[in-house]
Amino acid sequence: MRKVTRESNAARAAEAWAAGYPEDGPWGADERKQGITKILKDLGDNPDPDDVDRVIGNKSWTSVDECCECSCTKSSVLEIGGDDEQEAPPAYICFDCLLQGVNEMFQPASK
Ligand SMILES: [Zn+2]
């Protein structure tokens, strides 16, 4: 379980990009992809998300996933599960839905 923001996604972008486009993978010969890997790593451990977007050329690597419960898009969500690639992908929950879920846990059980 972890909090996901544009900043946390930006901090993981270099590692995620390198994992998606490894030098020994099918894209390994693609100099542009390897160049992006180097530039992302050169941005440091806590890069500005806008800089990451500019290097990659789109916002998909830093965007915050929408809430799985209400489909809203907020500046942060809680990622639940999905630690193991063999399991189902993680779920993303916004703060309002998380509070609603906590409240639901205190209600009497219903059928
Ligand atoms: Zn929600």
pLDDT tens digits along 48-90: 999 999 999 999 999 999 999 999 999 999 999 987 666 788 9
Whole-number Å distance, alpha carbon 104 to ligand 1 midpoint, is 14
> Measured in angstroms, how far is the CA atom of residue 73 from the centroid of ligand 1?
8
More confident residue, 24 or 96: 96
CB count in 10 Å sphere of residue 32: 10
Mean pLDDT, range 15-22, rounded to an integer: 92
Spacing of C-alpha 72 from chain mean position? 16
Instruction: Find the mean pLDDT for residues 21-37.
Output: 84
Give the pLDDT confidence score for residue 86 in this predicted structure.
Answer: 65
DSSP single-letter state for residue 60: T
- Is residue 82 within 8 A of residue 89, CB to CB? The reply is yes
Q: pTM here?
A: 0.86
For the four alpha carbons of 86, 14, 65 and 59, in that order, the dihedral sign comes to negative
Give the number of residues written for the chain: 111
41 C-alpha to ligand 1 centroid (Å): 33
